[in-house]
Amino acid sequence: MIRSTTLRTTRRTGRRNDCLGGVLVFTALLAGLPAADAAAVDAPARGRRGMVVCAEPAAGHAAVAVLREGGSAADAAITAAFVLAVTEPYASGLGGGGLIVGYDRHERRAYALDARETAPAAATPQMFLGDDGTVVADRSRTGALSVAVPGLVRGLWQLHQSCGRLPWPRLLAPAVTLARDGFAMPEMLTARLAEQHALGRLAADFQAVFLPQGRLPDPGDRLVQGDLARTLSQLAQAGPAAFYTGEIAAAMVAAVQAAGGLLTTDDLAAYRAVWREPIRGHYRGHTVVSMPPPSSGGVHLVQMLNILADFDLAAAGYGSAEAWHPMLEAMKLAYRDRSLYLGDPDFSTVPVDWLISRARADSLRAGLRHDRVAMPAEEPAGGVPAAVVSPEPEHTTHVSVVDADGNAVAATLTINLVFGSGMLAAGTGVILNDQMDDFAAAAHAPNAFGLIQGEANAVAPGKRPLSSMTPTLVLDRDDVVLVAGSPGGSVIITATLQAIIHVLDFGMDARQAVSAPRVHHQWSPADAWHESFGMSPSTRRELERRGHTFRTRPLMGNVQLIVRDRAAGIWTGASDPRGMGLAIGY
């Protein structure tokens, strides 16, 4: 059993400073700078009144303008979400969903809003199985059968009704302008278009908007989305009714049904976002507030923190085998529980209180060993899905916001895989999700991210698929001191976990915390992952001696982080250098 006293014996003078120096160099390399210029990119953004950290610059600028006008954190997050639907169409959009955790400082109240997509009423547990009873993976990942009922628009409306200050049309105005007038496409967008086009995933109506005249765009080409601008304008004037009923709804249904899908106008009209009680845990004297089921994120974030609470990670030192060994073991334990117990709480009994209890953590921790791997991992039947080893961090997106009153919002938004289903509803500009892949197509069958899922996450009409999205707040008494979240499929939970540990255990600032190399284990596949530049050879050899096996991935996650500098009385923020976002304080 690993004890904190054992880890303390590994402490060496200067180890943590050496590790943070390595983070500085790593940050510079990701930014394309020589190591000597590391300090130029290492400083986090600063703001006395508030902060926006967003995965895409235009959305961040639009959101901070809302804060400057007196808008709430919720207003800023809503604006960012609509802009991201225009500028990051590979990651999120009106045809997808999202999970939101927020804090109202005046009322001392945390909340969670579930705008997760739902299965159409005609969905069945066998819909992704072939005649021989085996899973046909492409059916749940590309095309019409992969489309679930979108939840984002309704969710953002309900957030505004509860927590908004500025008029709803004002919040959509930047997205309308960007869609109508266009913007210069960044390389990330053009690269995603080229990749997905080569894979044959982009339907004709999609190509008509993004590949005009059949030509792949170059970076810097202007993307104008006139149909999407009209859709956004209708939403600005009429609210969610314009999306869930009427001509926009009819166009989405027509597109899906023409291609053999199940979505109906009744499905759209019946959709509602759900207010839920957040998951709460405690770590290093702080309260952790995160997303409850149907997300697995909050449950297993708190579970892993509970397991790790008895280890002196700070004494072990960032990047050491003594720190990463218990972290990898805790990850495996949590993801195994994820495969057994998690699903939509409206359809299954999810033992949340037990999973996040100290007793459960104590029981799991008791089986761990300092000198070797104690928790066995499992290789999925049929091999590892390609998306598991893909370098792409660009599916799903995140925005973190704090306003002048100390209110905070962490919002993770998605259409699932890159460009969702690859379908666009003609005349609307709305890209449709492929969220049905987050269900278990069959018991113990891996999804696109290699996650094994059980009967609790089987397909059912009206059910919400299990998610890994982990929008999270950390509080010190009644004040938010950290806001975090990330895209990245199955690595979302562990990327968010490590951002918190980097701040609370290793004393990193916001920029260092999002830049530091990461590790990941999800129980199945059997190998742990580390970023290709993110582990020293000696550390890897020591972990392998203890029984860990590794794959490398170029990048994992894209964390958007806000941290309160309590000594200076300011907010600090940093957008992960693995992406193209930014942090803006005011």
Distance between CA atoms of residues 410 and 470, nearest Å: 9
Closest by CA to 364, choosing from 306, 322, 290, is 306
Distance between CA atoms of residues 355 and 57, nearest Å: 38
Burial status of residue 119 (CB atoms within 10 A of its CB: 0-12, 13-18, 19 or more): buried
Nearby residues of 167 by Cβ (< 8 Å), 6 or more positions away: none
E strand or H helix at 476, and its extent? Answer: strand 472-476
> What are the structure tokens assigned to 431, written together?
């890209």
One-letter amino acid at 177 equals T
Distance between CA atoms of residues 115 and 74, nearest Å: 14
Distance between CA atoms of residues 76 and 90, nearest Å: 21
Distance between CA atoms of residues 54 and 370, nearest Å: 39
Reading phi first (left if > 0) and then psi (alpha if -120 to 50, else beta), residue 327 is in alpha
287 given a catalytic annotation: no
Report the b/e string of 497-535 with b at 16+ CB within 10 A.
Answer: bbbbbbbbbbebbbbbbbbbbbbbbbbbbbbbbbbeebb
CA 42 from chain center: how many Å?
23
DSSP assignment of 220-251 equals T-EE--HHHHHHHHHHHHHTTHHHHSHHHHHH
Strands 97-104 and 109-115: antiparallel
Asked if 400 and 485 count as a contact pair (C-beta separation under 8 A), the reply is yes
Distance between CA atoms of residues 70 and 419, nearest Å: 34
Closest by CA to 140, choosing from 453, 426, 525, 350, is 453
E strand or H helix at 315, and its extent? Answer: helix 313-316
Dmax (CA) of the chain = 67
Helix (H, G, I), strand (E, B) or coil at 104: strand
Reading phi first (left if > 0) and then psi (alpha if -120 to 50, else beta), residue 422 is in left
Q: Catalytic residue among 396, 428, 470, 572, which?
A: 396
By annotation, the residues acting in catalysis are 396
